[in-house]
């Protein structure tokens, strides 16, 4: 029995090896290819190369497939015909996700004329593209995520009449987009991906000739000019994605010819004009992303007929109109609606309550008004809600606490003159059970810090900034098991720094649990004039922070502060802290930003602070500190303004020398003889130069000038909604706020 079985095995082996016996030339070529790599854990030893890992041969023993993706290959592909070039029957080559380096010589392609599929993505290839494509038969060419640079010559496509997919995403290509690709060479093209490169200039006409084009991506380049007119002729197109460029002009009404369009992403450009009236014809449209342009006018009513819509992103435009008049009820698949920072008026549209797929709604920074309605609870999947202009904070909290999926709640410019509910029993029934990110900022409500906040067992980021909260910080906040970002800045909080905060588990113990899904459903970004700053898309990527600045907190900084060694930002500035800076502050080895300025701290700066290696920004200005600034590469590298306003503090970077009797600091003696009387001009020069030193650098001026302070915080607040003020400071809001003061 056993012998028979072995015989059969042997026999079948002989048959298969005979059928696909490896050509010796092919074998040599493969080995020569392998030998040019510095690492090839392939184990290519046996005689018959057709049985090697990753190799397939045809009947004649000629290699047709070389599929070696993610095999840990390292080193250069030899450009000469000595190796792969001799595999003349190769049709499929996939070397993606390796570490293959150097450039592709023209010779590399010369003899590979049967090649149909070439995938070299995710390697370290560099240099320019050869003058022309490897093969007449090429269908798919994927060079994405390498380090190629230079222009793509239009001759490159000349031979490639069968090309259907061309992907150069994530390289450093420059020059023009080769948009004549379909006219002169590759009429069958279906996918073109030029995104994440350095292409520039206009997108010249030609793509209209791509009658088969389905996907066209060119985002994250430096493209300018208008949308190409003939893109509207590419009627097969399903995806147009040009985000993050500098395109201007309007979207043509002709867009309704593109009836297959499912994704239109033109966000972060300079497009303007009204939105086309006939969007409604685009019955397959799923994602419409036009954020951060200059569109004006109202949302076209016909958009409410696009029943396939899943995401509408219109943030940061100049759109207007009464949003409550829109009837969203046909959009059964709508999952994300982002109208942040426009000029919409009205109340929360009641028709949205019937869009049961909604996960994220952001309508803040418009001119909406009204109260949260209990019907919002019918949105069972709602996980992110960001609104402004609300009244009735008690009602809002009592309704929203039953929103079971709610993870991120951002409320701004609401509840003016109201009092935050402090009813202890409020969350007894387990409200806000999934809330992880709560930000109620610039709301100007009053009242004490509510104790129920300490029942938000899943809260990770808590921001209550810019209101009129009084009373002490509840000790029980220190028990919140997941809290790692706490900002209570710019309130009227009194009392001392509660020692219990120094026990916040997430700031004391390295996390052990595995990462749960903590994606925020909408991107959070802020606007500099041209380039928005993006905030982390994951909660866990926010930097651990305690910000109690601009309050009335007094007493000493607790010595236990040394326990929260995972904190990255600590801002206690503009309070009434007194006593010494505790030595233990030097235990905060992850500290990047430390501001203690504008307090009543006294004594020396602890010598040990010289060891805070990660410190990028320090500010201890305007206290009563004295003695020499400890000498370290770090502390002396800061701007002198970080130490100013402490009359008895001395040594670099301050201009005043320490008196030698103190004898402690030896290093700064080499500058003896500098006239101390000259310090003031230097200070003024530093102050004049030191504009924009970042988050912590501006506080001084902010306290002096209230209008600056508002503009500044609206810019830098850790939530997206801050962005609106940088570009269009809404005067009404400003005036209201100033009057309120
Ligand atoms: C590849 O082919 C050329 C000529 O056809 C030959 O000279 C060379 O030795 C071959 N290389 C290998 C590795 O077989
Ligand atoms: C190359 O191989 C990878 C991994 O198997 C695969 O994901 C990719 O689709 C292949 N490329 C082509 C063009 O087939
Ligand atoms: C292109 O594809 C067609 C059909 O698959 C095939 O007949 C032709 O040989 C291919 N090559 C060229 C260069 O057209
Ligand atoms: C871009 O390529 C680099 C490697 O070259 C890779 O690490 C990165 O993930 C790629 N990014 C994208 C968005 O594909
Ligand atoms: C982008 O293009 C403009 C001209 O359109 C040019 O002035 C600018 O330097 C380019 N920027 C980059 C980063 O290439
Ligand atoms: C686009 O289509 C219009 C109308 O069908 C036609 O007049 C125009 O020539 C086309 N443009 C291109 C570049 O194909
Ligand atoms: C666009 O649509 C209009 C009207 O439906 C039609 O007359 C025109 O030919 C279409 N253009 C193209 C290029 O399909
Ligand atoms: C929306 O579709 C309905 C029915 O299909 C149609 O009667 C209505 O005119 C359309 N509205 C707009 C604004 O296109
Ligand atoms: C919205 O339209 C639906 C029909 O699609 C209708 O039943 C509903 O009453 C409308 N709602 C509003 C608020 O107009
Ligand atoms: C606040 O909201 C609650 C809950 O919706 C409601 O019962 C109450 O009447 C509202 N208060 C005011 C003043 O509108
Ligand atoms: C520290 O402040 C600087 C600005 O001064 C900022 O760029 C940086 O992100 C801050 N660090 C952290 C961890 O937030
Ligand atoms: C430190 O804070 C003071 C007052 O808040 C400010 O004037 C100064 O510019 C700040 N210096 C640095 C380096 O941040």
Asked if residue 87 lies in contact with residue 109, where contact means CB atoms within 8 angstroms, the answer is no
pLDDT at 679: 36
Question: Taking residues 17-45, what's their average pLDDT?
Answer: 77
Whether the pLDDT of residue 436 is over 80: the answer is yes
Question: Taking residues 708-717, what's their average pLDDT?
Answer: 34
Q: What is the DSSP letter of 111?
A: T
The contacts of residue 219 (CB under 8 Å, 6+ apart) are: 195, 196, 241, 242, 243, 244, 245, 265
Question: Taking residues 41-52, what's their average pLDDT?
Answer: 84
Note the helical H segments in 509-579. Answer: none
For residue 235, what are its two tokens? 């009627």
Work out the angle between the directed axes of helices 731-740 and 706-716 (0-180°, nearest 10).
120
For residue 295, what are its two tokens? 């569109």
Whether the pLDDT of residue 32 is over 60: the answer is yes
Whether the pLDDT of residue 731 is over 80: the answer is no
Asked if residue 161 lies in contact with residue 182, where contact means CB atoms within 8 angstroms, the answer is no
To the nearest whole percent, how much of the chain has pLDDT over 70? 82
- pLDDT-derived band at 34 (thresholds 50, 70, 90) equals confident
**Residue 427, φ and ψ in degrees, nearest 5:** -100, 15
Give the distance (Å) from ligand 9 centre to CA of residue 328. 8
Whether the pLDDT of residue 198 is over 70: the answer is yes
C-alpha–C-alpha distance, residues 594 and 621, integer Å: 11
**Residue 525, φ and ψ in degrees, nearest 5:** -140, 155
pLDDT at 530: 58
| 628 close to ligand 6 (CB < 6 Angstrom) | no
For residue 686, what are its two tokens? 């530093």
pLDDT tens-digit readout, 392-402: 998 999 899 99
Give the distance (Å) from ligand 10 centre to CA of residue 395. 5
DSSP secondary structure string for all residues of 322-380: EGGG---TT-TT--EEE--SSEEEES--GGGGG-TT--EEE--SSEE-B---GGGGG-T
DSSP secondary structure string for all residues of 91-109: -EEE--SSEEEE---HHHH
Whether the pLDDT of residue 119 is over 90: the answer is yes
C-alpha–C-alpha distance, residues 699 and 712, integer Å: 9
pLDDT at 527: 55
- Taking CB atoms and a 6 Å cutoff, what residues make up the pocket around ligand 5? 198, 200, 222, 224
Give the distance (Å) from ligand 7 centre to CA of residue 298. 25
pLDDT tens-digit readout, 75-106: 887 655 456 777 888 999 999 999 988 777 66
Give the distance (Å) from ligand 2 centre to CA of residue 425. 57
Residue 37, classed as helix, strand or coil, is strand
Better pLDDT: 588 or 706: 588
Asked if residue 469 lies in contact with residue 494, where contact means CB atoms within 8 angstroms, the answer is no
Q: Domains plus CATH for the chain?
A: 8-105 (3.80.10.10), 128-249 (3.80.10.10)
Residue 82, classed as helix, strand or coil, is coil
C-alpha–C-alpha distance, residues 722 and 709, integer Å: 13
Better pLDDT: 126 or 660: 126
pLDDT at 651: 87
Buried b (16+ CB within 10 A) or exposed e, 132-145: bbbbebbbbbbbbb
Better pLDDT: 198 or 230: 198
pLDDT at 110: 63
| 140 close to ligand 2 (CB < 6 Angstrom) | yes
For the chain, the farthest-separated pair of C-alpha atoms sits apart, in whole angstroms, at 106
Average pLDDT over the chain reads 83
Element at 406 (helix H, strand E): none
pLDDT at 270: 94
* Closest protein CA for atom 10 of ligand 10: 395
- pLDDT-derived band at 484 (thresholds 50, 70, 90) equals very high
- pLDDT-derived band at 295 (thresholds 50, 70, 90) equals very high
Q: What is the DSSP letter of 211?
A: T
Highest mean predicted confidence (pLDDT) among 46-50, 53-57, 243-247:
243-247
C-alpha–C-alpha distance, residues 640 and 735, integer Å: 36
pLDDT at 728: 29
Closest CA to 87 of 152, 146, 22: 22
pLDDT at 186: 83
Pocket test for ligand 1, best of 23, 27, 77, 81 (most atoms within 8 A of CB): 81
Whether the pLDDT of residue 26 is over 90: the answer is no
- pLDDT-derived band at 425 (thresholds 50, 70, 90) equals low
Give the C-alpha distances (Å, rounded to integers) separating 119 from 116, 146, 509.
Answer: 10, 11, 45
Asked if residue 101 lies in contact with residue 126, where contact means CB atoms within 8 angstroms, the answer is yes
pLDDT at 631: 85
Q: What is the DSSP letter of 681?
A: H
C-alpha–C-alpha distance, residues 161 and 351, integer Å: 51
Which atom number of ligand 1 is nearest to the Cα of residue 81? 1
- Lowest model confidence (mean pLDDT) among 164-168, 270-274, 658-662: 658-662
- Asked if omega into 534 is within 30° of 0 (cis), the reply is no
- pLDDT-derived band at 13 (thresholds 50, 70, 90) equals very low
C-beta atoms surrounding 88 within 10 Å: 15
pLDDT at 101: 85
- pLDDT-derived band at 717 (thresholds 50, 70, 90) equals very low
- pLDDT-derived band at 702 (thresholds 50, 70, 90) equals very low
Threshold 0.75, pTM exceeds: yes
């Amino acid at each position: 029995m056993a012998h028979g079985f072995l015989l059969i095995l042997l026999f079948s082996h002989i048959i298969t090896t005979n059928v696909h016996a490896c050509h010796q030339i092919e074998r040599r070529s493969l080995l020569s290819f392998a030998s040019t790599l510095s690492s090839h854990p392939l184990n290519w030893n046996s005689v018959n190369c057709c049985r090697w890992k990753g190799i397939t041969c045809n009947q004649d023993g000629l290699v047709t497939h070389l599929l070696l993706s993610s095999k840990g290959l390292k080193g250069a592909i030899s450009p000469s015909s000595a190796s792969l070039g001799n595999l003349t029957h190769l049709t499929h080559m996939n070397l993606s996700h390796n570490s293959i380096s150097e450039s592709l010589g023209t010779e590399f392609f010369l003899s590979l004329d049967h090649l149909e599929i070439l995938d070299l993505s995710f390697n370290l290839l560099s240099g320019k593209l050869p003058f022309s494509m490897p093969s007449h038969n090429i269908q798919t060419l994927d060079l994405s995520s390498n380090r190629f640079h230079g222009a793509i010559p239009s001759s490159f496509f000349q031979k490639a009449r069968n090309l259907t997919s061309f992907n150069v995403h994530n390289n450093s290509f420059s020059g023009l987009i080769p948009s004549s690709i379909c006219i002169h060479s590759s009429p069958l093209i279906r996918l073109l991906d030029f995104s994440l490169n350095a292409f520039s200039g206009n997108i010249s006409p030609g793509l209209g000739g791509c009658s088969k084009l389905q996907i066209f991506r060119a985002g994250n380049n430096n493209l300018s000019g208008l949308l190409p007119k003939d893109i509207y002729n590419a009627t097969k197109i399903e995806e147009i994605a040009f985000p993050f460029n500098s395109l201007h002009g309007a979207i043509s009404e002709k867009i309704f010819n593109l009836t297959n369009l499912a994704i239109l992403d033109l966000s972060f450009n300079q497009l303007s004009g009204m939105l086309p009236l006939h969007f409604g014809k685009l019955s397959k449209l799923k994602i419409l992303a036009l954020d951060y342009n200059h569109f004006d006018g109202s949302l076209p009513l016909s958009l409410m007929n696009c029943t396939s819509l899943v995401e509408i992103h219109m943030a940061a435009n100049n759109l207007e109109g009464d949003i409550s008049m829109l009837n969203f009820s046909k959009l059964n698949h709508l999952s994300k609606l982002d109208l942040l920072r426009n000029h919409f008026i009205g109340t929360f549209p009641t028709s949205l309550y019937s869009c049961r797929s909604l996960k994220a709604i952001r309508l803040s920074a418009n001119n909406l008004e009204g109260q949260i309605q209990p019907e919002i609870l019918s949105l069972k999947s709602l996980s992110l809600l960001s609104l402004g202009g609300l009244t009735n904070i008690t009602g809002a909290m009592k309704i929203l606490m039953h929103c079971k999926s709610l993870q991120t709640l951002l409320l701004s410019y609401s509840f003016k003159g109201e009092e935050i509910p402090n009813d202890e029993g409020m969350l007894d029934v387990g409200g806000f059970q999934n809330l992880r990110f709560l930000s109620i900022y610039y709301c100007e409500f009053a009242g004490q810090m509510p104790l129920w906040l300490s029942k938000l067992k899943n809260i990770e980021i808590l921001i209550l900034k810019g209101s009129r909260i009084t009373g002490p910080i509840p000790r029980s906040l220190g028990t919140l098991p997941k809290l790692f970002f706490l900002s209570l800045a710019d309130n009227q909080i009194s009392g001392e720094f509660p020692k219990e905060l120094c026990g916040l588990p997430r700031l004391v113990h390295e996390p052990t649990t595995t990462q749960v899904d903590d994606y925020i459903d909408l991107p959070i970004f802020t606007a500099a004039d041209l380039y928005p700053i993006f905030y982390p898309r994951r909660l866990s990527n926010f930097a651990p922070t305690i910000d109690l600045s601009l309050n009335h907190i007094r007493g000493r900084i607790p010595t236990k502060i040394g326990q929260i060694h995972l904190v990255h930002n600590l801002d206690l500035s503009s309070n009434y802290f007194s006593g010494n800076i505790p030595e233990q502050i030097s235990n905060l080895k992850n500290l990047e930003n430390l501001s203690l300025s504008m307090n009543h701290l006294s004594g020396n700066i602890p010598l040990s602070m010289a060891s805070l290696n990660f410190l990028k920004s320090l500010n201890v200005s305007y206290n009563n500190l004295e003695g020499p600034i400890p000498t370290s590469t770090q502390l002396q590298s800061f701007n002198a303004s970080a130490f100013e306003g402490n009359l008895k503090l001395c040594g670099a970077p301050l201009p005043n020398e320490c008196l030698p009797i103190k004898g402690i600091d030896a290093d700064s003696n080499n500058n003896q003889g500098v006239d101390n009387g000259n310090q003031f001009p230097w200070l003024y020069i530093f102050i004049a130069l030191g504009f924009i030193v970042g988050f912590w650098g501006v506080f001084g001026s902010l306290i002096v000038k209230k209008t600056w302070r508002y503009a500044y915080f609206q810019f830098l607040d850790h939530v997206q909604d801050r962005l609106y003020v940088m570009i269009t400071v809404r005067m009404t809001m400003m005036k209201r706020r100033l009057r309120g003061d």
